[in-house]
Amino acid sequence: MDGPHPHTPDLVTNDDGLDSVALVVGGLPRTQLVEALASAGVALNAHAETLIAHPAFDDLATHSVRIVTRSVAQLGLGEGGTLPEIFAAAAAQGLALCPVVTAPYLRLAWTTQSTSANSVLSAGESPDGALNIAAPLLSDDVEFPKGFYLRVVDGRLWLRGYRCDDLYVLPPDVRFAFCRGGDEASLSDGEPR
């Protein structure tokens, strides 16, 4: 990317997909961020558009983060877990929430994500091959999207938003991206950065 992101991300992958990445996030005005996503061929769903329209994306601060991925099971939740349980289990392992603006920048950086085994875009359940980005919630309203996930469907890069309530149990194989402890957003403050 041009402008404030000359840093080439240091992507480390494994059999489950992305393992870790050092990345600079933030810095682009919303319109430039949306243009960068469009020019990279990234598709957005309505929930992703709603999240990007939030005032949290008005903050042009940049953040250098080291993102690591974990499945819900790797967080110690072998039967799955709700978002509050997943975030608490991550905190217990020294992981932190990513800055709110992380997902679009990670989507732009990670273009080698494997294609999903199915092409269903919305089924009311955790989608195959998705990587959820753990970040502070922008609203307590259950109708407002809770966060982003990255997915590739039929060869097309997607940045999608999702909704769920605090009772929805995500299966143990669902993967989340967190910041290495001490990098950015606190798991306890709940306020966007």
Range name among 27-31, 127-131, 164-168, 169-173 with the lowest pLDDT average: 127-131
3-state secondary structure of 64: strand
- 85 part of a folded domain: yes
- 156 part of a folded domain: yes
Average per-residue pLDDT for the chain? 86
CB proximity list for 133: less than 8 A, separation 6 or greater: 98, 102, 103, 106, 147, 148, 149, 150, 176, 177
Segments forming the whole domain that contains residue 176: 10-180
Q: CA-CA distances (angstroms) from residue 130 to 8, 18, 57, 71, 134? A: 23, 11, 23, 11, 13
- 1 part of a folded domain: no
The average pLDDT across 106-131 equals: 81
Contact 81, 170 (CB under 8 A): yes
Tell me the pTM.
0.86
Q: Judge whether residue 186 has pLDDT over 50.
A: no
Instruction: Report the C-alpha gap between 122 and 170 in whole angstroms.
Output: 15
Nearest of 44, 53, 50, 46 to residue 156 by alpha carbon: 44
Contact 154, 119 (CB under 8 A): yes
Q: Give how far the C-alpha of residue 170 lies from the chain's centroid of Cα atoms, to the nearest Å.
A: 15
Q: Which residue has the tokens 């992958």?
A: 13
Domain count, the chain: 1
**What letter would DSSP give residue 58?**
G
- 192 part of a folded domain: no
- Reported as a single tens digit per residue, the pLDDT across 34-71 is 999 999 999 999 999 999 999 999 999 999 999 999 99
What pLDDT band is residue 151 in, cutting at 50, 70 and 90?
Answer: very high
- 3 part of a folded domain: no
pLDDT of residue 105: 97
- 105 part of a folded domain: yes
Contact 146, 163 (CB under 8 A): yes
- 42 part of a folded domain: yes
Instruction: Report the C-alpha gap between 71 and 100 in whole angstroms.
Output: 20
Q: What share of the chain is helix, strand, coil (3-state, %, to 5)?
A: 20, 30, 50
- 22 part of a folded domain: yes
pLDDT of residue 181: 64
Nearest of 107, 118, 122, 109 to residue 157 by alpha carbon: 107
